[in-house]
Amino acid sequence: MLQHNINEEELKQTAEQIKELLPATDENKQLIKKALITYRQDSVYRLKQESDTEWSAYVHDVVAARVHFHVLFPVRSSCSCPADGLCKHILAVFFSLYAQVESVTGFTENWSEKDELQRSKELIRQHFQVKRPDEQSLQSWLNFFQEEFNLWLKRTPKHQQTPQHLYYGYLSILKKHAPHSPEFKSLYAIHTSIDVWLRIYELIDLGQLDAEKDYYSMNPYVEQLMNTIFDSVDHLKTYALSFSLDPFLENTPTAVRTLLQINGPFQHERVAVFMEIWGTILNRGKWVKKETELLKNAQQQEKTVERTIGLMHMDYLLKEDDHLFQQLKMLNADMLPNVLNWLKDLTNRKDWKRLKLWYEEITYILEEYCQLDLSYRELRGAVSDFFYYLDAYFKQTKDHHLYERYLQICMPYAFTEYSQLLYAQQRYAEWIEIHSLVGFSISELEKDLIKQIAKEEPEALIPSYHREISQLLDQKNRSAYRESVKMLKKLRTLYHKTKKTTIWERYVKQLQDSTKRLRAFQEEMKKGKLIDDTP
Whether 138 and 261 map to the same domain: the answer is: yes
The string of DSSP codes covering 86-107 is S-HHHHHHHHHHHTTTS-HHHH
Whether 255 and 141 map to the same domain: the answer is: yes
Q: Is residue 126 part of a domain?
A: no
Q: Is residue 487 part of a domain?
A: yes
The single-letter DSSP state of residue 500 is: -
- pLDDT tens digits, residue range 279-316? 999 999 999 999 999 999 999 999 999 999 999 999 99
| Sheet hosting strand 65-70, strand order edge to edge | 44-49, 54-59, 65-70, 78-79
Number of domains in the chain: 4
Q: Is residue 342 part of a domain?
A: yes
Q: Which domain holds residue 67?
A: 2-111
Taking residues 253-267, what's their average pLDDT? 93
Whether 420 and 446 map to the same domain: the answer is: no
Whether 88 and 139 map to the same domain: the answer is: no
**124: confidence class by pLDDT, cuts 50, 70, 90:** very low
Last residue of a domain, one of 78, 111, 144: 111
> CB within 8 A of 424, min separation 6: which ones?
none
- pLDDT tens digits, residue range 174-192? 998 999 888 999 999 999 9
Q: Is residue 516 part of a domain?
A: yes
Q: Is residue 432 part of a domain?
A: no
Whether 19 and 66 map to the same domain: the answer is: yes
- Give the whole-angstrom CA distance, residue 224 versus residue 401: 41
Q: Is residue 247 part of a domain?
A: yes
The string of DSSP codes covering 114-168 is HHHHHHHHHHHHHHH------TT-HHHHHHHHHHHHHHHHHHS-GGG-SHHHIII
- pLDDT tens digits, residue range 453-463? 999 999 999 99
* Per-residue pLDDT at 379 exceeds 60: yes
Decide the pairing of beta strands 54-59 and 65-70.
antiparallel
Q: Is residue 317 part of a domain?
A: no
pLDDT of amino acid 2:
52
Q: Is residue 411 part of a domain?
A: yes
- pLDDT tens digits, residue range 67-107? 999 988 888 899 999 888 899 999 999 999 998 888 888 88
Whether 175 and 96 map to the same domain: the answer is: no
* Residue 108: exposure state from Cβ atoms within 10 A (0-12, 13-18, ≥19): middle
pLDDT of amino acid 365:
95
Whether 139 and 256 map to the same domain: the answer is: yes
Whether 236 and 159 map to the same domain: the answer is: yes
Decide the pairing of beta strands 65-70 and 44-49.
unpaired
Last residue of a domain, one of 425, 452, 474: 425
**Triad 214, 218, 220: Cα angle to 5°:** 140
* Per-residue pLDDT at 134 exceeds 80: no
The answer for 398, left when phi > 0, alpha when psi is -120 to 50, beta otherwise, is: left
Whether 173 and 100 map to the same domain: the answer is: no
C-alpha closest to that of 191 among 241, 107, 135, 153: 135
* Per-residue pLDDT at 432 exceeds 70: yes
Whether 59 and 97 map to the same domain: the answer is: yes
Last residue of a domain, one of 111, 144, 174: 111
Whether 418 and 457 map to the same domain: the answer is: no
Q: Could you give the dihedral angle defined by the CA atoms of residues 127, 130, 131 and 132, in that order, rounded to the nearest 10 degrees?
A: 50
Whether 382 and 491 map to the same domain: the answer is: no
Q: What is the pTM of this model?
A: 0.69
